Amino acid sequence: MKQSGKHFASMTTAPQLILASASPRRLALLQQIGLEPDHLMPADIDETPKKHETPRSLAMRLARSKAETVRQAADASESLQDGVVLAADTVVAAGRRALPKAELTDQALLCLSLLSGRGHRVFTGVAVAQPGGKIRSKLVETRVRFKKLSRQDMDEYIASGEWRGKAGGYAIQGLAGSFVVKLVGSYPAVVGLPLVETANLLSAAGYPIHRGWATGAA
């Protein structure tokens, strides 16, 4: 898979699938259910929360905004106009506070301190934009509880670098999985893409989500 946007020829007449993300985690989750995007087209948008915006609203707005942005780019390209755009965004919330996608060690330490020994919510918005501009979307909420983290837990996790660029300063599919005491909801949504909801949205948009199942590969 390349991020050049070049089309990988399909053996079917299915519409092209455009993933509006450069996340290797979202790509791997799609591949898990037999879907291989024809294009990776990350959406370049401002992800700054608006004043008084709730984490729930932020996740949904960003997912839809990513889908709209890439839909416009696809519509401007003759070869991509038939494509179905899939976008998602994940927001980790401590109470009513949306935690950042940590880039600095101080941000990561703050996130881990806020999540230590308590429950938090992960909101993942998913949006699918069809040719013609129709957008379908879904918000998935998952509850996660961390164990009480020692200073050594936090320092050594920060030293791993795994947190960098991750919502809430952690990656549940990695080392931070050892922090999770309880999870209620969708595990893949916390990783970055809720699979049931994604498949349903794509199917509703006319994309044949089972086309690769017969051979076990997309």
What gap in Å lies between CA 166 and CA 24, rounded to an integer? 12
* Token representation of residue 121: 């919510």
Identify how many contiguous H helices and E strands the chain contains and give both numbers.
6, 7
What gap in Å lies between CA 19 and CA 217, rounded to an integer? 18
Q: Is 51 exposed, middle or buried (0-12, 13-18, 19+ CB in 10 A)?
A: exposed
What gap in Å lies between CA 212 and CA 8, rounded to an integer? 15
The separation between the first and the last C-alpha atoms of the chain, rounded to the nearest angstrom, is: 13
Catalytic residue, chosen from 38, 82, 89, 153, is: 89
Concerning whether 82 is annotated as a catalytic residue, the answer is no
The answer to whether 36 and 27 have CB atoms below 8 angstroms apart is no
Q: Count the residues in the chain.
A: 218
- Phi, then psi, of 58 in degrees rounded to 5: -60, -45
Closest Cα to residue 167, out of 107, 117, 127?
107
Residues forming the active site = 89
